[in-house]
Each structure stands twice: as C-alpha cells, then as structure tokens.
Amino acid sequence: MYPGTYADRTPDKAAVVVAETGAVLTYAELDERSTRLADVFRQQGLGAGDHVAFVADNTPEVFEVYWAALRSGLYVTGVNHHLTPAEAAYIVDDCGATVLLASAGVAALARDTARLCPDLGLRLAWGGPVEGFDDYEAALATGSPERPAVQPSGADMLYSSGTTGRPKGVLPNLPTHRIDEPGDVFTAVFGPLYGFDPDTVYYSAAPLYHAAPLRFGGMQHRSGGTVVMAAKFDAETALGHIERYGITHSQWVPTMFVRMLKLPAEVRERFDVSSQEVAIHAAAPCPVEVKQQMIEWWGPILQEYYSSTEGNGVTIIGAQDWLAHPGSVGRAALGVLHVCDDEGAELPVGEIGTVWVERDAMPFSYHGDPGKTAEAQHPDHPTWSTVGDVGRVDDEGYLYLTDRKAFMIISGGVNVYPQEAEDVLVMHPAVADVAVIGIPDDDLGEAVLGVVQPVEGVEPSADLAADLIGFARERLAGYKVPRRIEFQAELPRSATGKLVKRRLTEVYR
C-alpha cells in the first residue's frame, strides 16, 4: 500500500492535517503532487539509488518530497533545521544529494546551506521565495501527473542525531519491491502491533527530519489513515490538539511527558484525551515514575519501543507488561538481543554490557565511513550490530537500558550511569530538565556533575543546589549522586528530545 492506493479508493480523505490551522492535504493531492515531483526528479536525470535532501520545518510538502523519492527508487535525507549552515551543508554534501528542497520557514538556513554546496543541481523552495531556489509549485507544474508503469521503492537515508559527535549517515539497503507491493519492514512490524488502519488519526509534534516522525507518517499513509502534524511541541497545545481532532494514536518522547505532567492539574483536566487508543513513546529512556504517572493519567494505552535511526532491531512493550517489568523497554520484536563485555564476549543473564542485535544480515552501513560501520559490527559475529547502548536482559528476555556507553562516567574506578541520577532529579518539582555528566577530577578521575534547568519562576541558588543533592542522596547510592549542581537557563536537547551532552561536556570540561 502507498498513497496511490488510497488516492484511488478515498481521494478526498485527509492524508495530512496541519494541527494549528486545520489545513488539509488529501490523498488525491498527495498522490498527484508526489507523482509530479517524481517526474521532475526524472527530468533531472535522477535514477534508482540517487539522493535528494530537504531542509524544512513541519509542512505537508515534506511528505510530498518523501513519497516522490520513495516512488522513484531514490534515497531521501532530511536535514535538521536547527543546525548551522556549515553543519547542514556537511550532511547535504555527505549524503551525495544533487537536489535540495526547502521551505520558506527556514529560508536563511536553506540559502546559506546551498551556497556551501556548489555541486547541487536543482534547488526548489515552497511557501515563499528563498534566495537561490526555484519555485516549487512552478516545478510541479512541469511534471507529469501520470504514474509510471513501474515505480521502484526508495528509502530514507537519515542521520544519527549527533548527541555524541558528528552525525552519521545511515545507509539502508534499497528495497527490492516496487512501491505498490508489500515489503516495507517498518510497516510490517509496527502497523499490526499498534493497529494502524484507515480509521487511525495519528498525532505527531516532532520534526519530520527525524526517523520516527517521518517513518510513522509514511506508515500511516501506507495504512490509509490521517496524519495530524503540529509545527512544534507545546504541552498544553498538544492536549488541545488531541481533543480537537479526536486523535486515536500519538507519539511522544519522555521529555514531552515530563512537560505535560508539570502542567497545573486544572490545565491537564481541562482537555478530553479519551479518544486516544495508543500512545507510543520512544527515542530516549523514560523515567519509571514519569511513565507510572502517565499510565495513571491516560490509562494503560502507552506502548514503548526501542530502536534507532539505524533500524538494526526493535524491542516492544505494552503498558501491562511494563507494569510487571517497570523500567524495561521490552522484548525483541525484530532481531535477537545479546549483551557483551568490552571484548565482545557474551555476558550471563542480568549482567550489564553493550547491547548487540543479531539479524540475518547487517541491515545498514554508515555512508562513506567503513571504519564506523566496522565499529558497529561485532568482531566475531558480522551480523550483530550495536548503536552503543548499554543495558541488561533478564531471564524472561526483557531489556533494561542503562545508558549510552559514551555517557558512562568512571568515578574512582566505579562505573556511574548518568541516566539513574537524571531520572531521579527530573522528578524534583523545581527541575524542568537535567543532565548528568562527568568532569575531570584529580582525585577520582571523573566527578559527577548535575546541570539543571529550573522550572519557570524558580531562581538558581546555593540552597536549591543543596536541596537537589539531598533529594538525590535520599534515593540513590552516594557514588551516583552529583557532587555539584550547576544551573543553565536551557539544556541542549535535540528537537527529538535527546540530550546533546557533548555540548555540556565542552563547557564544563
């Protein structure tokens, strides 16, 4: 299934709704416009395996670009619109894109990025003029609305979020099926699991350059439902959108849960969110207390999965299973889990180590970087891969993530996993956000530092720092507690909710 299927069956049905305005892109429009754009790509000489890129805020045209690429056998790369021009240009150049598409909402970044990419051919912009770009609508008018007899499937080639270093391009193998044939692994795993079908109304407030929002939106279009897309996340606004549009399925990251839970009770109770059947969350570990409170509020509709941009494996867990295994991210739904020590030897059940996923074949490579690809492959088992997460598996096969290997602190010879302290401190009523990092220490090698963003209206102070340390000490072993608290007006998080700790370590080291 793909948009053309539903353009034939339900042409006037909404494929995309803009949450803030109610503007609609129908299946007929999505199919015709992506068909025209695919023909524009062909006119440029693009063929299977070539690359296009987009830099845009959340607008319906992103899905037109996505489907135009996928129905042409192309790779499509979304560029984080929060990057600097140099960072964005690195991705455009690295992915090998010869076409760049952009929205006027990020005009300055698009203009400056294109100037740094002299090898670009076609440049198209929608929503208003962008210097150096041709008009998107005029280009569509030159494309044929007729679907070709054969439409080979393309794929997204997305970049890791760069929380521990420069983003890495994740190059999947191109599908062997046509766009109108079954074969999409993502849809095959998640579609039946979460009940995506033509009646689904799916809400997402995350940026479309990221893997989950783009892929889940694409899965919704393969299923014939409606994507309700917000420009950005705001806790109170999101609750209003759920009520207004009768959202049945939604997707979140734990930071969003924290911000909704910290709304005043009278604000939360103002909105009817009972239309929701499934609330999906992923992207970062969710503190146990946060998830418990969300289940108490929304009911046992929370569904968690653990995966990555690399898509090397998937674990899943529903609310009832999670209540019996609090803190777990579930059991394997795609791939076989292994936990290994630093030398690659498999560890006994319950011991903490690097998480590896076994597949029939290595499902991805890092574009243009065989060294990084080799680092992601097990030295003795070439079909096992890792993205650097650390955790343990219990005797029932449930995975518990501890932290990213790169974030681990070694203090006095003891391994400290920052996530534990972060999960505790974020529940303090004065804390809006928190990061725990290691900083150099002459005595311990590394000392544990907490960096806190206070909630609005709370002033940083020595008394507050002492209170936070005491709060953590009541709940954690002493070696896990930050020795010092620093305050920041805002912590560096990616738009998908992940802490960009390298920025903090650069400051405090």
- What are 223-252's pLDDT values in tens digits? 999 999 999 999 999 999 999 999 999 999
For residues 335 and 481, membership in a common domain is answered with no
Sign of the torsion angle spanned by Cα atoms 315, 319, 320, 322? positive
CATH number (domain holding residue 251): 3.40.50.12780
For residues 317 and 393, membership in a common domain is answered with yes
For residues 119 and 253, membership in a common domain is answered with no
Token digits of residue 88: 């964005």
For residues 44 and 118, membership in a common domain is answered with yes
For residues 244 and 339, membership in a common domain is answered with yes
| End position of a domain, from candidates 355, 385, 404 | 404
DSSP, residue by residue, 88-145: HHHHHHHHT-SEEEEEGGGHHHHHHHHHT-TT--EEEEESS--TT-EEHHHHHHTS--
| Total number of domains constituting the chain | 3
For residues 27 and 160, membership in a common domain is answered with yes
pLDDT value of residue 261: 94
Expressed as residue numbers, the domain containing 61 is 3-226
pLDDT tops 90 at residue 418 = no
Contact 95, 77 (CB under 8 A): yes
For residues 333 and 252, membership in a common domain is answered with yes
Using DSSP's 3-state secondary structure scheme, residue 408 falls into coil
For residues 82 and 179, membership in a common domain is answered with yes
> Measured between alpha carbons, how far is 376 from 174 in angstroms, rounded to an integer?
20
| End position of a domain, from candidates 358, 388, 404 | 404
What is the identity of the amino acid at 175?
A: P
For residues 417 and 399, membership in a common domain is answered with no
| End position of a domain, from candidates 226, 260, 277 | 226
* Residue 222 banded pLDDT, cuts 50, 70, 90: very high
3-state secondary structure 378-400: CCCCCCEECCCEEEEECCCCCEE
Provide Rg for the chain, Cα atoms. Answer: 23
* Residue 215 banded pLDDT, cuts 50, 70, 90: very high
CATH number (domain holding residue 480): 3.30.300.30
For residues 375 and 256, membership in a common domain is answered with yes
Nearest Cα to Cα of residue 291 among 255, 257, 325: 257
Using DSSP's 3-state secondary structure scheme, residue 377 falls into strand
- What's the mean per-residue pLDDT of the chain? 92
Query: What is the dihedral angle through the alpha carbons of 21, 27, 33, 38, rounded to the nearest 10 degrees?
Result: 130
Token digits of residue 413: 């010879």
Q: How far apart are the first and last CA of the chain?
A: 51
For residues 40 and 131, membership in a common domain is answered with yes
For residues 275 and 222, membership in a common domain is answered with no
pLDDT value of residue 82: 85
Q: Which residues contact 242 (CB under 8 A, 6 or more apart)?
A: 203, 250, 271, 273, 275, 276
The residue length of the chain stands at 509
